[in-house]
Amino acid sequence: MLKAIIIDDEPDCVKLLALQLKMYCPQVQVMAECTSSEQGLLTIKELQPDIVFLDIEMPVMNGFQLLEKINHINFSLVFV
């Protein structure tokens, strides 16, 4: 089972992706759904996921700025 986190500032997009993963990728378990980059950064550090689904354009801190704040990226990354 792969642990995943979804980070996107649009709640509808988060819910849709989580539903699609549940339907089509049963080996992927969504551990957290984050609707802000700040929340996502804390959640990555806390849960240490295998996969992060990350939105690029978000208010306050975009996806690239979030990645710059992580010292060692030890997960697969999918931009959404």
Q: What is the Cα–Cα distance from 48 to 60, expressed in whole angstroms?
A: 23
pLDDT at residue 79, as a whole number: 97
pLDDT at residue 74, as a whole number: 95
Residues 6+ apart with CB under 8 A from 43: 5, 7, 32, 34
Instruction: Kindly report the backbone phi and psi dihedral angles of residue 60, in degrees, each rounded to the nearest multiple of 5, phi listed first.
Output: 70, -60
In the block, residue with structure tokens 């759904």: 33
pLDDT tens column, 6-52 = 999 999 999 999 999 999 999 999 999 999 999 999 999 999 999 99
pLDDT at residue 44, as a whole number: 98
In the block, residue with structure tokens 């354009």: 57
The arithmetic mean of pLDDT across residues 51-70, rounded, is 96
pLDDT at residue 1, as a whole number: 95
